[in-house]
Amino acid sequence: MQESRSASQQRDGAAQAHGRLRVLMAGGGTGGHVIPALAIARELRDRYAAEVRFVGTARGLETKLVPEAGFPLELIHVGQLKNVSLATRLRTLADLPLGILRCFGLLRQFRPQVVIGVGGYASGPAMMAAVLTRTPTLAYEPNAVPGLANRLVGRLVSAAAVNFASTCHFFRNAQVTGVPVRREFFSLPAKTAAMPANLLIFGGSQGARVFNEALPRIAAALLQAVPGLTIVHQAGANHVEETRHAYELSGAGTARWQVWAFLDDMPRRFADADLILCRSGSSVAELAAAGKPSLLVPFPRAADDHQRKNAEVMASAGAARMLLESEATPHRLLEELTALFQDREALARMSEKARPLAHPDALQTIGEIAKRLAEGTASR
């Protein structure tokens, strides 16, 4: 306890001496963790002139995206605990103390005034080290049910920023802030009646097998049932050629579909879409911000089944329809997509229900919470 109090006093003294907000962003792995973390980091840098560093692992997307965004990245070694073999779990448990010790060193070196955990492999050790050194902590949780890292530290953190009200009970001092979403999603140009109907399909940066296999099989029938419909399908880099070939063999008119490995202009693709078929990870926040109707097929092996719970929140609000992957047969997908495109009023109602779920001020609110924690003016 004496060491923790001393570390806290040293950090506060360093903060006063340097006069600049310092923030450590902890976690990563998938785009659902890294992309919002980068948005928060940019907000803190641009609004408060904060110095922001990241801590992650060598296996996550942070190794590519964080340096590209211009932020320093420190790496620790920590493995998986969920959906892995017993041997892997045992190795991870053995590595955890070393990961926490490494984070102690990073905290002593950088002396952040607040540590923000975004979930993922590195989040748990960094947040635990921060708790033990009495460094203010902010947990960011976009899903209806927190991942393992955030569940482990949820009752110990100083505050939490969550996307769903139902998530608040997992944390101390939780506030519904929503998920940081690019501003472009909130101001998409409206479609006109003269523009062709469009279906946007994506399953994350790696694509989704269920979409890649099923949609080419039903493309010709769907395009026949919905005159003028066009399809844009993100298949993932590893599956784009086989998916494109399957569309070519389907008999669907080649002018009415496109298959891409990756779409890097998502706001424009959302603007063109009348309906979106996708997974239900962090994309649900973009759907809400854009006010786009969706048919959601949760990834069944997502940690703690959080994608299903996200989809259930959207569906219960009337903003989306949900199919479990076991239900998403080609026949059922054709039936659901055809019915939705033939009921424009239903699509309009889903759009209206989606928008109230969005939080246009999420970034600003999360930044303000972090700033208050750093200054010692927030409840903890």
Domains held by the chain: number: 2
Q: Which two tokens stand for residue 178?
A: 């929503």
The boundaries of the domain holding residue 335 are: 184-357
Those residues with Cβ within 8 angstroms of residue 264's Cβ, 6 or more apart along the chain or in another chain: none
* CA angle, residues 8, 10, 11, in degrees to nearest 5: 65
Q: What is the pLDDT of residue 270?
A: 97
Residues 137 and 192 in one domain: no
pLDDT at 177 over 90: yes
What CA–CA distance (Å, rounded) separates 20 from 365?
20
Q: Cα(49)–Cα(107) distance, rounded to whole angstroms?
A: 20
**Among 5-9, 305-309, 352-356, whose mean pLDDT is lowest?**
5-9
Residue 340 has pLDDT above 50, yes or no: yes
Q: What is residue 194's predicted lDDT score, i.e. its pLDDT?
A: 80
Residues 171 and 196 in one domain: no
Residue 298 domain-assigned (yes or no): yes
Crossing angle of helices 283-290 and 344-354, rounded to 10°? 110
Q: Is residue 201 part of a domain?
A: yes
Tell me, yes or no, whether 152 and 243 share the same domain: no
* CATH (domain of 209): 3.40.50.2000
Return the CA Rg of the chain: 22
pLDDT of residue 30: 79
For 94, other C-beta atoms within 10 Å of its C-beta total: 10
Q: Which residue has the higher pLDDT, 368 or 98?
A: 368
The confidence score (pLDDT) of residue 13 equals 45
> Is 305 in the same domain as 246?
yes
Whether residue 220 sits in one domain with residue 166: no
**Half-sphere exposure of residue 244: CA atoms within 13 angstroms, side-chain side:** 13
The answer, yes or no, to whether residue 287 has pLDDT greater than 50, is yes
Q: Which residue has the higher pLDDT, 271 or 9?
A: 271
- Could you tell me where the DSSP H helices lie in the chain? 2-18, 31-48, 62-68, 86-110, 123-132, 148-153, 209-225, 240-250, 266-272, 283-290, 306-316, 330-341, 344-354, 362-375
- The residue count for the chain: 380
Q: Kindly state whether residues 65 and 197 are assigned to the same domain.
A: no
One domain for residues 226 and 288: yes
Highest mean pLDDT out of 65-79, 142-156, 175-189, 243-257: 243-257
Neighbours of 64 (CB within 10 A): 11
pLDDT at 257 > cutoff 90: yes
Say how many CA atoms lie within 13 Å of 252 toward its Cβ. 28
Residues 6+ apart with CB under 8 A from 201: 211, 215, 231, 232, 233, 234, 276, 277, 278
Type of residue at 339: A
Measured CA distances, 253 to 117, 192, 256 (Å) = 47, 24, 6
Q: What are phi and psi of 379, to 5 degrees?
A: -65, 140
pTM of this structure:
0.78
Q: For residue 380, is it within any domain?
A: no
Helix (H) or strand (E) holding 190: none
